[in-house]
A and B are shown apart, each in its own frame.
Chain A
Amino acid sequence: MITPLHLDVRRSAAGGETDFELSLAVPSDLEYVGPAVELIAGRFRTGILSPRRVRFNLRTALAEVLANAIAYGNRQDPSRQVRVRVEASREAVRIHVTDDGDGFDPAAVPNPTLPAYLEREDGRGLFVLRGLVDCVDFNEKGNSVCLTLRAG
């Protein structure tokens, strides 16, 4: 049984409909991925991103980063949370996701489309993520990622 998530919404005084910031703390349980994705995606009816990119790119990218942070970062430890901050402006949407884990080296993740990896069940998350958004930036430690989706 999951408890309802609380989304904090802040609007900039001058920015109108397109400028806002969302923040959300997600418990380290994979059951929360779907509800957290819907909660955030539901805020993007304002036209920054096309309905198609909200339906597919934004939702899939959010599911990927949240699942990675919960499963690999926080190792599903119930005492840890994943912190999400979304900055929306007329130009772009930036999604910052941070976990309490030790981080990882994104450059060390093998290409899952190579024949040796193609039939593996996992290992596609980062690769898929890079195909869905305009920019994927990790901090040095590797426990915080920023996804950028340019407007349109």
Chain B
Amino acid sequence: MSFSLTKDKRGVVVVAVDGQLIVGNRQELKQKALDALDGGARKFVIDFTKTGYIDSSGLGVLVSLSKKIREQGGDLRLAGLNEDLQTLFELTKLDTLFSIAQTPAEALAAF
């Protein structure tokens, strides 16, 4: 499975991306997060600790998800980016759009 969802006791949804987030699987991530949003969740962390690579479609889906979640009064945060992925966010200036934490635990603590 590419994506696994867990919810902590405060209701923060953590989505772990295993492998890659690309054009072929981005809709699956979007749907899972939107289903959780429909179910009442408002706080999301996307955990990239086990992610090898993200393409521009993957970046795009994060942008649109974040927008949808903010429209519902929620927030989406990113965590666990390795040096290469961090550079990708900096290159595209998306590091200015997202709140990025070193680890999922840090992202959760910041909510």
Interface positions of A (Cβ within 8 A of B): 30-34, 37, 52, 55-57, 59-60, 63-64, 67, 71, 112-113, 118-122, 124-125, 127-128, 131
Contacts and interface: CB of A to CB of B under 8 A. Distances in A.
Nearest to B55: A63
A124 B60 contact: yes
Interface SS of chain A: helix
Interface in B15-62: 20, 22-25, 52-57, 59-61
Interface string B65-101: 0010000000000000000110010011110110000
Interface of B: 20, 22-25, 52-57, 59-61, 63-64, 67, 84-85, 88, 91-94, 96-97
A118 B24 contact: no
B53 A60 contact: yes
Contact of B91 (A30, A64, A128): A128
5 contacts: A55-B52, A56-B52, A67-B23, A121-B64, A128-B56
A113 B93 contact: yes
A70 to B, nearest CB: 8
A124 B59 contact: yes
Contacts of B93: 113, 118
B60 A34 contact: no
Contacts of A113: 92-93
A127 B85 CA distance: 15
Contacts of B23: 30, 33, 63, 67, 71
Contacts of B96: 118
Closest 4 CB pairs of A and B: A124-B56, A121-B60, A56-B84, A63-B55
A55 B24 CA distance: 18
A9 B102 CA distance: 41
Nearest to B23: A67
Contacts of A131: 88, 91
Given A63-B22, A128-B91, A119 B55 contact: no
Contact of A122 (B53, B60, B84, B88): B60
Contacts of A55: 52-53, 84
Nearest to A131: B91
A33 B92 contact: no
A57 B87 CA distance: 11
